[in-house]
A = this chain, B = another copy of it.
Amino acid sequence: MSEVIDVPTPTAGAPDEVDPATLTEVLDGAWGQARRWARTFEPQRFDTRSYELDTEAHRARVTARLAEFAATGMPQSGFPAIAGGAGDVGGGMVVIEMLGYRDLSLMVKAGVQWGLFAGAIAALGTERHHREHLRRAVELDLMGCFAMTEAGHGSDVQSLETTATYDPQSQTFDIHSPTPSARKTYIGNAARDGQLAVVFAQLRTPDGDHGVHALLVPIRTADGRPAPGVTIADCGRKAGLNGVDNGQLVFDHVTVPREALLDRYGHVAPDGTYSSPIESKGRRFFTMLGTLVRGRVTIGGAAQNAAKHALVIAVRHGLRRRQFPGPDGGEEVLLLDYRAHQRRLLPALATSYALSFAQDQLVTTLHELMTADEVDPRAQRELESRAAGLKAVSTWHTTATVQACREACGGAGYMAENSLPLLKADTDVFTTFEGDNTVLLQLVGKGLLTDYSAQFEDLDWRQMARFAADNAVNAAIERTVPRGVFTRLRRGDEGVHNRVWQLTLLEDREKHLVETVAARLRRGRASRGSFAAFNDVQPHLLDAARAHVDRIVLEAFLAAIDGCERPEVRRLLEKVCDLHVLSQIERDRGWYLEHNRISPGRSKEVTRAVDELCEELRRSAGTLVAGFGIPETWIDAEIARA
B-contacting residues of A (Cβ < 8 Å)?
51-52, 54, 149, 153-156, 159, 185-186, 235-240, 323-327, 332-333, 337-341, 343, 399, 403, 406-407, 410-411, 413-417, 420-421, 424-425, 428-429, 431-433, 436-438, 460-462, 529-531, 535-536, 538-539, 542, 586, 589-590, 593-596, 600, 603-604, 611
Contact = CB atoms under 8 A, between A and B. Distances in A.
B154 A425 contact: no
A539 B340 contact: yes
Contacts of A343: 539
Given A239-B421, A595-B600, A596-B600, A611 B539 contact: yes
Given A324-B460, A327-B530, A536-B611, A431 B407 contact: yes
Given A411-B429, A594-B593, A239 B603 contact: no
Contacts of A586: 590
29 contacts: A52-B237, A153-B323, A154-B323, A154-B410, A186-B414, A235-B415, A238-B415, A238-B421, A239-B415, A239-B416, A240-B421, A326-B531, A327-B530, A327-B531, A333-B531, A337-B535, A338-B538, A339-B538, A340-B542, A341-B438, A410-B432, A411-B432, A413-B432, A425-B425, A586-B590, A593-B603, A594-B600, A594-B603, A594-B604
Q: Which of A52, A535, A600 has the most CB of B within 10 A?
A: A535
Contacts of A603: 590, 593-594
Nearest to A588: B590
Contacts of A154: 323, 410-411
Contact of A414 (B153, B338, B341, B432): B432
Contact of A428 (B406, B530, B535): B406
Contacts of A595: 600
Contacts of A51: 237
Contacts of A323: 153-156
Report, nearest first, the 7 A-B pairs whose CB atoms are least far apart: A239-B421, A327-B531, A593-B593, A237-B416, A590-B590, A589-B590, A339-B538
B413 A536 contact: no
Copies in the complex: 2
A535 to B, nearest CB: 5
A389 B483 CA distance: 51
Contacts of A337: 535
A531 B332 CA distance: 12
Nearest to A586: B590
Contacts of A185: 411
Given A239-B421, A327-B529, 8 more contacts: A185-B411, A236-B416, A238-B415, A239-B414, A333-B531, A343-B539, A406-B428, A594-B600
Q: Which of A238, A433, A536 has the most CB of B within 10 A?
A: A238
A325 B414 contact: no
Contacts of A324: 155-156, 159, 460-461
A538 B436 contact: no
A239 to B, nearest CB: 3
